[in-house]
Amino acid sequence: MAREVFTNLTSLESGTLSGRTPRFSRHEGAWTACAFATLAYACTISISAPLNPLQVSFGLPLLGMFGVAVALLILGMIWMRRIDEGVLPISFGTVAWLTFPAALAWIGIIALSPSFHALSPVELFLFSFIWIMVALLTMALVRVWRVAEAPLVANVPVQSRAGRMRDYLTLAKPGLNGLVLFTAFVGFYLASVGPLNFRLCLLGMLGTALFAAGSSALNQFMERRVDALMRRTSVRPLPAGRIRPRNAVLFGVMLIFAGTVLLTLFVNLITAFLAMATLAVYLFLYTPLKRIDTFSTLAGGIAGALPPVIGWTAAGGKVDSVALTLFFILFLWQVPHFLSIAWKYREQYAAAGFLLITVDDETGRVTARQSLLYALVLFVVGLLPVLTGRAGMLYGWGAAILGGALAAFALFFLLRPTRVTAMRLFFASIIYLPLTLVIWMIDKAMTGGLSL
């Protein structure tokens, strides 16, 4: 068995996709490098700066995040124009639309805020970014509303009010976003000191839910034509023609606007910024990249790993090593979780034009190797809170057993890459994440860190 595992891990077959093309090999190498880079960084911050690797809540690293966010906005404008038939035209008017609300926001802060002089430049940048995103979404809404695109399917039977409500609920993806809210709550819980602030928690979770639901609706609008090509997504409200595209955009944008106001005014600025940055990564990086490059999965992992950090900052916590460990756990977990299900449906993804690492992997070896690698790195990263004294032995034993079990299922998938073993890995990943996080919360409560 050991020889078979070693052969599967190190085989470098040549040829086309029954083996791997050189281009596919380079992509897998980049995926592998990303896993090891994540491991190295997570270990470094946990060991060298366990209390506060970012130094302060608003510091130079967040300024760097702002620069990345601006780059995402630029990419978003370009890709929205290129992929979605001119939803957002690039012109001088576009630049004016983006900068004018930001300028108004700065003037409003100076004129109306008594604590203006207490605000740092980075806080002003974050506030401006939020306003720029609001302007961008408003422009997209106006453009889509003006085009008034017809439904993709004609002669759809008139639905009842209850049916329309169900369709709009489907746009919000309550199942997937339930996990988003759960991980955000875990971050809030672990960052809280003393009794849980239920009012702040409720406001933070509600704002996060509004952002998650709105981004899901806009994602389905951007992928409505692609969804029509896949059997499992063709029944969604937009490709099935039960909701007009402009109504879906209006629904999504209004939810995001409500979440922006809620988080900015009643929680804090950094939480609103992180929520808006998650939206930017999800819509402007992950969604377009799915038809451009295999790294879309890793980009989606960033968006999916930010909710616990959003919950952490909502509770007033500084972004320290524990918050980043939560981020890395979510990021690493998503790879075996997504790859296992993506390999099962690789033919449908290929028909829709998605460039995923699983699409051309007929043997399943590349997918299984990456799933096992990320599961092993997750096993190590999951133990870092114990090794640095930020969690107790209950969590340590739970993370070790659950992480080891997930890696074992990934190993079985590597040894026998079939749809059965892929789905076993998928369901094992579903069990791993909530159990690990719940054990961590119980561990904190038992050690006196927090009482509900």
CA distance linking residue 388 with residue 85, whole number of Å = 51
What is residue 7's predicted lDDT score, i.e. its pLDDT?
Answer: 46
Q: Are residues 187 and 237 in the same domain?
A: yes
Cβ–Cβ < 8 Å for 297, 359: no
Task: Look at residue 394 in the predicted model and tell me its pLDDT.
Answer: 92
Last residue of a domain, one of 287, 319, 351: 319
Residue 103 burial class via C-beta count within 10 angstroms: exposed 0-12, middle 13-18, buried 19 and up: exposed
Question: What is the CATH classification number for the domain harbouring 311?
Answer: 1.10.357.140
Q: Are residues 23 and 154 in the same domain?
A: no
Q: Which two tokens stand for residue 127?
A: 């506030």
How far apart CA 442 and CA 451 sit, in angstroms, is 10
From its phi and psi, is residue 113 left (phi > 0), alpha (psi between -120 and 50) or beta? beta
- Could you read off the pLDDT tens digit of each residue along the chain, which spans 452 residues? 444 444 444 443 333 333 443 344 556 666 777 777 677 767 766 665 444 443 333 344 444 444 555 555 555 554 444 444 434 444 444 445 455 555 555 555 444 444 444 556 666 667 667 777 777 777 677 666 665 555 655 556 666 777 778 888 888 888 888 899 999 999 999 988 888 889 999 999 999 999 999 998 888 888 888 877 777 777 788 887 788 888 888 888 889 988 988 998 888 888 988 998 888 888 888 887 777 777 778 888 888 899 999 999 998 877 777 888 899 999 999 999 988 888 888 887 777 777 777 777 778 788 888 889 999 999 999 998 888 778 888 999 999 999 999 999 999 999 998 889 989 999 999 999 999 999 999 998 887 655 44
Tell me, yes or no, whether 107 and 194 share the same domain. Answer: yes
Give yes or no: residues 200 and 234 share one domain: yes
Which residues lie below 8 Å from residue 414, measured CB to CB, with a gap of 6+? Answer: 5, 8, 9, 365, 368, 369, 371, 372
Do 336 and 291 belong together in one domain? no
Same-domain pairing of 292 and 373: no
Statement to judge: residues 299 and 393 lie in one domain:
no
DSSP for 128-161, written as a single string: HHHHHHHHHHHHHHHHHHHHTPPPSSSSPPPPPH
| Closest alpha carbon to 410 in 336, 331, 316, 314 | 336
How far apart CA 443 and CA 395 sit, in angstroms, is 6
Shared domain for 303 and 348, answered yes or no, is no
Q: Burial of 106 by CB count in 10 Å (0-12 exposed, 13-18 middle, 19+ buried)?
A: middle
Same domain flag for 131 and 238: yes
Q: Are residues 334 and 434 in the same domain?
A: yes
389: left (phi over 0), alpha (psi -120 to 50) or beta: left
In this prediction, residue 189 carries a pLDDT of: 92
What is the domain range of residue 11? Answer: 1-53+323-452
Structure tokens at 357: 């690492």
Q: Which amino acid is at 103?
A: A
**pLDDT on residue 411:** 93
- What values do phi and psi take at 356, rounded to 5? -100, 160
Last residue of a domain, one of 284, 319, 354: 319
Q: What's the rounded Cα separation, in Å, for the pair 276 and 208?
A: 10
Instruction: Report the sign of the C-alpha dihedral through residues 446, 382, 321, 122, in that order.
Output: negative
Total structural domains in the chain? 2
pLDDT of residue 406: 95
> Does residue 169 sit in the same domain as residue 250?
yes
Regarding whether 337 and 267 lie in a shared domain, the answer is no
d(CA 224, CA 368): 30
Domain end residue (candidates: 280, 298, 319): 319
